[in-house]
Homo-oligomer: A and B are copies of this chain.
Amino acid sequence: MNIGFIGLGLMGAPMASNLAKAGHTLHVWSRRPQALADYAKRPSYQIHPSAAAVAAASEVVFVMVADSPDVHQVILGEGGVAEGGKPGLTVVDMSTIAPETAREVAAALFERGIDFLDAPVSGGEVGAINASLTIMVGGEEVVYERIKPLFDLLGKSVTLIGASGAGQVAKACNQIITGVGVCAVAEAINFAHKTGVDAERMREVLMGGFAASRILDMHGQRMLERNFVPGFKAWMHQKDLGIVMDAAHAQYLTLPTAAAALQLYNAMVGSDLGDEDTTAMLKLFEQMSTAAEGASA
C-alpha cells in the first residue's frame, strides 16, 4: 500500500520503519529536509517536496508530530495534506494533541471527503521500536476497521475508544494518571530517603498492596537505581499536561492533582531537567530538600 508518513522523529521513524518492513511503500516529507538524508537511499521510501505531495501519492497518511499547532499546520496549512489529498484518503494523526483540535481537523477533512482518525499512543520509544504501542483511537468505526491492519503493525493493544477526539481524551486520561503517578512516587521515595528509611524495601512492600502500579514498579525502580535516561522526556510530559489543562480549562473541569503535577514538570524543564526521563522528578525533589538531609541526620 502507498502510505504517507509525516513526522520521522524519535517515535515516528521506528513506526514508519515497521510499516516499511511489512512491505508498504512510505511516502515522506519533512519540514527539515536534512532529517530525510538517511531515507534517500532506502528503497521503501519516496521523498516528496511537500505534505500535499505526500498526500497525493498515498491512500493513508500517518502524522506523528509534536503538538496541536503542528498537526493543524501539516494537515490544514499551506501545502498541507488537505491540499493534496483526494477524496477517499484517510489521515491518521498519532500525535498527542488537544481533543478539540482533533475534532476540528476531522470536520475540515470531512468536508473534502477525507476520513480522519485521532490515534495517540502510549508506550514510548521502546514501544514504537518493538511495535508494542498502546493505540487509542477516535473516529468512525468503518474507518477504524479499514486502518486496523496497519495499527496492528505498530501496536499490541489497539482500541476504538469512541467518536472523533475520543482517542485524545483517553490519552489525556493516561497522561493525568501517569504524570501524577510519577510525582507521587518521587515524593514518597524522597520522603523515605530524607527520613532515613530504606526506600527499596518500602517500594517492595508497597508493591504487595493497594499502592502497586507500573509506575511504582518500573519508574520507582529506575529512581532507586538513579537511571534518568529517557524513556519519556520530562518536557514531553510537561507539554502533554499543558494540553490536558487547556482542554479542562475550556470545559470548566477541575484537575487538582494534575495541576500540581504540571507545576512540577514546569519546574523540571525550568531547572534543566527537561531532557531527562520523567524519573528525574526525584532529582527535583532532592534539590528542594537539601536542608532536610541535615535535619534527618
Instruction: Give the B-binding residues of A (Cβ under 8 A).
Output: 99, 122-123, 134, 136, 156-157, 159, 161-163, 165-166, 169-170, 172-174, 176-178, 180-181, 183-185, 187-192, 194-198, 201-202, 204-206, 208-216, 218, 244, 247-248, 251-261, 263-264, 285, 288-289, 291-292, 295-296
Contact = CB atoms under 8 A, between A and B. Distances in A.
A121 to B, nearest CB: 9
Contacts of A162: 196-198, 201
A203 to B, nearest CB: 8
Given A173-B188, A184-B177, A251-B292, A210 B201 contact: no
B184 A188 contact: no
Given A162-B198, A173-B192, A260-B260, A255 B187 contact: yes
A211 B178 contact: yes
A165 B196 CA distance: 10
Contacts of A210: 122-123, 174, 178, 214-215, 218
A191 B248 contact: yes
A263 to B, nearest CB: 7
Contacts of A165: 195
B296 A251 contact: yes
A184 B288 CA distance: 23
Contact of A188 (B159, B176, B189, B192): B176
Given A123-B209, A162-B201, A197-B161, A252 B176 contact: no
A134 B209 contact: yes
10 contacts: A122-B210, A162-B197, A166-B198, A169-B202, A173-B189, A174-B209, A181-B211, A213-B216, A252-B295, A257-B261
Contacts of A208: 134, 156-157
Contacts of A196: 162-163
Contacts of A176: 184, 187-188, 191
A175 to B, nearest CB: 9
Nearest to A201: B161
Contact of A256 (B134, B188, B251, B264): B264
A159 to B, nearest CB: 5
A255 to B, nearest CB: 5
Given A169-B197, A192-B173, A258 B161 contact: no
Contacts of A218: 210
